[in-house]
A and B are shown apart, each in its own frame.
Chain A
């Protein structure tokens, strides 16, 4: 089960021939992900080779999907072309588009979001580490890794992890793995102000997934997505949820790395988000070192 992706998911990579896309495609192949196609306009007919595997490259996503049966895409194209790449994935009818690209203009994402309103394609990201459903092999190989997360920190199990940030997700996953608690699926939804999938969307999926028994939700200052998720959890979530909000010490009006991590007009403060977590019965980790322990205590 897990959510979004599993070991059967057939993945194509948009931007497979760029250095960043190529490097992470190699790591995904090593992890055991079924990378079935690459897309780079103008390089159709060529092959991406790694570890004895040959991945055919196509000029268009539609062609790649038709020929290989790919249902998910990892997008590594540079920011000026990323919006176009996302919509091409949607046009090809893919179920999932995971956009890793950082630095996409906000208006491009507004247009993408509007264009995807009636689409069946789910967008994760942009500016995100991607999605990992760990497998049963050594170092959790044999699962599905889309994006840039280190595969070996994972372990197959029953905790769902959702976060805006990359390294903070790895921190939580590693804490879990070190304590013997595996993960069902780990999702980085990205640090931009306009993204495809929210905390709440993922929480709803984890709530329905029988393989997920507990959830870690990591938030950041800025926006109100964490509050909305907390409100839903208070009313409907049947599973224990623990969380952490990063940015309690961030000065207002300053963008803390992520375009979305900014307290403006007194909105999006860590204090307000932590209060919403507490109202919803979400276990609030006192420090980022306690994310796994906070959840695991709730699950005893």
Chain B
């Protein structure tokens, strides 16, 4: 699960990571009030930041034509104006796709004077099965680009989960960033709090980009998390009701949320052949084989190991909601599951959803022959696929024949 920047900053602040003063709001009036408070505290610049689950907000464009999902303001009136331009509008960034995302809330935060920008993140090193904390002097940039072009500019420490991040590791990273004097201890403290946030919240990623060196009062510089991104481990949300409450359904694809209600794992793609498969690996492989034979999968859909009739019907309903779908491929390896029960589920689902698109079904495993018989006896125009390859080829052909222009 992903959360918003303002929510990530709330969690980070709880664990002692310094973040700029600010608050989230839903109306220009509240935006102005928060800005007034920040200015009253002596700040000279306030940032207004669109809260959506996608990066590239600063360089994004609203469909209204307004440029930039992040703006800096010198007056509370300006904050009011910018908030009016952003709230209720759809922001398109390089990560949102052309549809963009509706901005329904903005974060109003102090924008201190930045002297230097760094990058830091905590994540899992899968190869070692240990957490790593990585930093880079190239803050504010696309870290994947830095990793590809200047890998030496990324410095990592590997953390033993039994002991956690040690202070020396934090100091090592601070020194690697070129920090000096008191800032080395400040850096170590910052990283310790960052790691604690990651560990205590069961996060899969905490990313601060940029982590900034801020001109503080009386000439004393400090470190601050100016932006923040967090992803949480879905499997651990049961023990974090406070984080689960941060879930924003408006940021999730409605069909995927609907599918989850039936314990279906659905991800929409942009092809024309819908797939319904049991098992995640087989579902991915089914998408691959469709592409191999020249078609394009419309979705990933794993109905799980013991799919019921209700689940199969729900699955059909969900995949058929996608207007791009021109045909359906069902691929079931009935290991424990009985193919005849699945076949009856398919027949019922086809009747209930009034399916009028080509449907190819491949049944293999337990009672497969009986299952095929049920499909034949149904009188429905279901195309039988013998192997995965045969089924995929027939699905690609059927979609091509039905829509010659689209293939």
Q: Which A residues form the contact surface with B (CB < 8 A)? A: 27, 79-80, 103-111, 113-115, 148-150, 152-153, 163-171, 174, 191, 193-194, 218, 220-225, 228, 244, 246-251, 254, 256-261, 265-266, 270, 286-290
Known: A105-B233, A170-B335. A287 touches B292 (CB 8 A): yes
Total residues of chain B contacting the partner, CB 8 A: 56
For B371, the chain A residues whose CB sits under 8 A away are: none
The yes or no answer to B85 lying at the interface (CB within 8 A) is: no
Closest to B159 in A: A110
Known: A150-B336, A266-B144. A106 touches B204 (CB 8 A): yes
| For the complex of A and B, 8 pairs with smallest distance between CB atoms | A165-B281, A257-B280, A167-B279, A168-B281, A105-B236, A289-B389, A150-B335, A167-B282
Docked Cα-Cα span, A247 to B285, in Å, equals: 6
The yes or no answer to B374 lying at the interface (CB within 8 A) is: no
Q: Is B284 in contact with A286, judged by CB distance below 8 angstroms?
A: no
For B336, the chain A residues whose CB sits under 8 A away are: 27, 148, 150
20 cross-chain CB contacts under 8 A: A103-B235, A106-B235, A109-B129, A114-B129, A166-B305, A168-B282, A171-B285, A171-B388, A191-B281, A194-B126, A246-B281, A247-B287, A249-B269, A250-B287, A254-B267, A257-B283, A259-B233, A259-B235, A261-B284, A287-B288
The yes or no answer to B124 lying at the interface (CB within 8 A) is: yes
For A193, the chain B residues whose CB sits under 8 A away are: 124, 126
- Supplied contacts A165-B282, A249-B290, A288-B282, 13 more A-B pairs, CB within 8 Å: A106-B235, A107-B202, A108-B236, A148-B305, A166-B335, A171-B282, A171-B285, A174-B333, A193-B124, A220-B281, A246-B285, A248-B291, A288-B289
Q: Is A250 in contact with B300, judged by CB distance below 8 angstroms?
A: yes
The yes or no answer to B199 lying at the interface (CB within 8 A) is: yes
Chain B, 136-168, contact with A by CB distance < 8 Å: what is the 0/1 string?
Answer: 000000011001100000000000111000000
Docked Cα-Cα span, A110 to B287, in Å, equals: 32
For A286, the chain B residues whose CB sits under 8 A away are: 292
Q: Is A166 in contact with B365, judged by CB distance below 8 angstroms?
A: no
The yes or no answer to B127 lying at the interface (CB within 8 A) is: yes
The yes or no answer to B387 lying at the interface (CB within 8 A) is: yes
For A27, the chain B residues whose CB sits under 8 A away are: 336
Known: A105-B235, A221-B284. A265 touches B144 (CB 8 A): yes
Q: Is B289 in contact with A111, judged by CB distance below 8 angstroms?
A: no
The yes or no answer to B89 lying at the interface (CB within 8 A) is: no
Known: A113-B129, A287-B389. A244 touches B285 (CB 8 A): yes
The yes or no answer to B59 lying at the interface (CB within 8 A) is: no
Q: Is A257 in contact with B389, judged by CB distance below 8 angstroms?
A: no
Q: Is A153 in contact with B281, judged by CB distance below 8 angstroms?
A: no
Q: Is B280 in contact with A261, judged by CB distance below 8 angstroms?
A: yes
Q: Is B302 in contact with A249, judged by CB distance below 8 angstroms?
A: no
Give the one of B124, B147, B148 with max A CB within 10 A. Answer: B124
Q: How far is the CB of B187 from chain A (nearest CB, A)?
A: 24
The 8 Å CB contact of B284, one of A104, A250, A265, A287, is: A250
Docked Cα-Cα span, A244 to B389, in Å, equals: 14
Closest to B337 in A: A150
Q: Is A249 in contact with B202, judged by CB distance below 8 angstroms?
A: no
The yes or no answer to B170 lying at the interface (CB within 8 A) is: no
Closest to B233 in A: A106
Q: Is A166 in contact with B288, judged by CB distance below 8 angstroms?
A: no
For A250, the chain B residues whose CB sits under 8 A away are: 284, 287, 300
The yes or no answer to B112 lying at the interface (CB within 8 A) is: no
For A228, the chain B residues whose CB sits under 8 A away are: 127
Chain B, 354-393, contact with A by CB distance < 8 Å: what is the 0/1 string?
Answer: 0000000000111000000000000000000001111010
The 8 Å CB contact of B280, one of A113, A170, A256, is: A256
Query: Which residues of B in the span 212-255 have a Cβ within 8 Å of any Cβ on A?
Result: 233-236, 238-239
Known: A79-B235, A105-B236, A171-B282. A288 touches B288 (CB 8 A): yes
For B202, the chain A residues whose CB sits under 8 A away are: 105-107
Q: Is B148 in contact with A153, judged by CB distance below 8 angstroms?
A: no
Docked Cα-Cα span, A288 to B390, in Å, equals: 12
Known: A167-B281, A287-B289. A110 touches B130 (CB 8 A): yes
Docked Cα-Cα span, A194 to B128, in Å, equals: 9
For A223, the chain B residues whose CB sits under 8 A away are: 126-127
Q: How far is the CB of B232 from chain A (nearest CB, A)?
A: 10
Known: A114-B161, A251-B269. A165 touches B124 (CB 8 A): no
